[in-house]
Structure formats: C-alpha cells, structure tokens
Chain A
Amino acid sequence: MARLGGRGNLDPKKVSGELFSLTYGALVAQILKDYENVDDVNKQLEKMGYNIGIRMVEDFLCRTSSGKCHDFRDTADKIQLAFKLFLNLSPTVTSWSSTSDEFSLIFDTNPVAEFVELPDHCYNLRYANILAGAIRGALEMVHIEVACWFVQDTLKGDNVTELRIKFLRRIEDSVPPGDD
C-alpha cells in the first residue's frame, strides 16, 4: 500500500494504482470465498488494514517529518495528506461534530474499488474496510484511539463514499517496565 502512484514521476518505487486496485480486488474475492460470511470478511479486512496501518504510520512520519498532532483537526489534515501520499486521493474533510471529536472524509468514488460491482448477496460487504482499519492502526500508534466506519458507499448506490472517524480517547504514555 505504501508504494502507490502520485509521488512524482521521478520515484522508481512508483506502482500503478490499477495494480493495487486489482490486487486488492483479488484479495477481497478470495477472503469472500474462504469465509462465505460477509460480516467475517468485513472483520478480516479491518484487521488486515490495522496491521498495515501500524507500520505505514512510520513510513508516513519519516517521509513527511511531521510531529505530534495538537488537536483532532490537525489529525484530520494529516490523514488527508496521507491519502494524497499513499493513494493519490484528495478526500474532503467535512461534517465536524460540534465538539470537534468527529468528522467525515468524503471520496467522490470508492477509493479502492475502481472496477467493482457488488453482487446482491454481498450487499453488506464493506468493500474498502481495509482503509478504516489502516486509519485506526496508524492513529493508535500515535496514541490516538478512534472508531472508523463507512456511512455511505458509491458501491451501494450512494452519491459519494463517506468515512466517519470518531475520536475515542488519548492513549497514555506507558511507564517503564518493572523488574519482573
């Protein structure tokens, strides 16, 4: 996921976005075959995303040399930047809650589902759930616990894809390990 297009033409590590979309599609199809139950598939995708996120965040930090976030709006800007960097997408940040602890990312299309049509029996499949997991994992590494879920999805006939992110709590610094 870290090796996607949009980082300028000079980067030899650049990989076509289509390759990623197709690989991801094959992955989803295979998991669907293995698990049969759509809810389990959603869970697996989220988990895989989480595992990607906890590593990807280090790549993001050293590449952008960004520091800690001062508030959640700052976090939203950095997530936006990360989408630009890794997937060459520019989601819009909107629908802030009055307490600034919740916002939405709006994508014009489903970010990883360029070539996808959902068959009827997978109506509940959250196709891009890997992104929700990646965001949760990445933020957990910088001590921010969030919940992340899809509210709208172009694959399900909505006009846009909307990913909702809610701040839960700040994870405290851990004390030094004891002698045991």
Chain B
Amino acid sequence: MTIFNLWLFDEKGNLIYYREWNRKKNTSMERNEEAKLLYGMLFSIKSFVNKLSPADMKDGFLSYKTSKYRLNYYETPTGVKLVMNTDTTVTHPIVRDLLKSVYGQIYVEYAVKNPMYVLGQPIESELFGVKLDDLVRASPLFKA
C-alpha cells in the first residue's frame, strides 16, 4: 500500500497545498498548470457524475481507479477539496477517513486556526507540513 501525493484546493479552485511522498513519474508541466488541469478534470467529473446519476446522491464523486493508481477525492461543505493518489490495493473508504483527518486535524488546526494564514492563499506554514507528514506516515496506508 502506498500513498503517492496529496493536493489541496480551496473553494475557488486555487491550489493551496501540494505534497508528494512517492511519485516516480513527473509531467513536464509546471505545478500550477498541473493543478489547473487536475481541478478542471475534477470539476467536470463532478458535474458528469451528478448529472448521470439515476438517483439523488449523498456524496457525489468519490474516487476513480486506473490499472496503476487510485485517485481519491473528498470535498467539505465549505468547498475545500482534498485529492490523494494511492496505489490500487487500497479501497476508497479508508483513504476517505484519512482525508477527513487531514482536513479536521491538519487543515483546520494548523491553517484555519492560524490567524496569520489568509484563507485561499498557498499554505506556507512549516508546522502544517510537519504535522501533515506525521499524520500521513503514521497511517497504515503508508509504506514507502
């Protein structure tokens, strides 16, 4: 089981944090370009999933899987979006729980509650990075 990387978007689609742990293949794009591409895709998938669903949904889009990786998505009611790429041996619900803890224990505690952090700006706090790293590495999902 492996966690590849994590993307954090704000409500308006700005990339506020990116972190990678195991990423073997990189694109030739700038990180910002990559983020826009990813966000655009998520935005489309979300509306696609909502429109084609035969019944009312609670959570909407959750994850997709290719032969090599799984992209896991979690969005809060305030529109903060967390994306975590893992390998395919992992099921979505356990990654979702991890993403919820990243939101509740890291984003809320070390970004939102930090008055020096301006909402919607990239997170530069070192403490945030350290705490995030601790949380992710402590997770049973993480095995480099």
Give chain A's interface residues, CB within 8 Å of chain B: 2, 54-55, 57-59, 61-63, 65-69, 141-143, 173-177, 179
Q: Give the one of B58, B78, B112 with max A CB within 10 A.
A: B78
Please indicate the chain B residues that have their CB under 8 angstroms from the CB of A141 in the complex: 11, 78-79
Contact B43 A175 (CB under 8 A): yes
Contact A174 B12 (CB under 8 A): yes
Contact of A176 among B43, B76, B103, B113 (CB under 8 A): B43
Contact of A62 among B14, B36, B108, B119 (CB under 8 A): B108
18 contacts between A and B (CB under 8 A): A2-B113, A55-B112, A58-B76, A58-B108, A61-B77, A61-B78, A141-B11, A141-B79, A142-B77, A142-B78, A143-B79, A173-B79, A176-B13, A176-B36, A177-B12, A177-B13, A177-B39, A179-B36
Interface class of chain B by DSSP: loop
Interface class of chain A by DSSP: loop
Bound CA–CA A66/B58 (angstroms): 12
Quick one: CB contact mask for B96-129 with A, threshold 8 Å, 1 for yes? 0000100110011000110000010000000000
Please indicate the chain B residues that have their CB under 8 angstroms from the CB of A61 in the complex: 76-78
Please indicate the chain B residues that have their CB under 8 angstroms from the CB of A175 in the complex: 13, 43
Contact of A68 among B12, B77, B103, B119 (CB under 8 A): B77
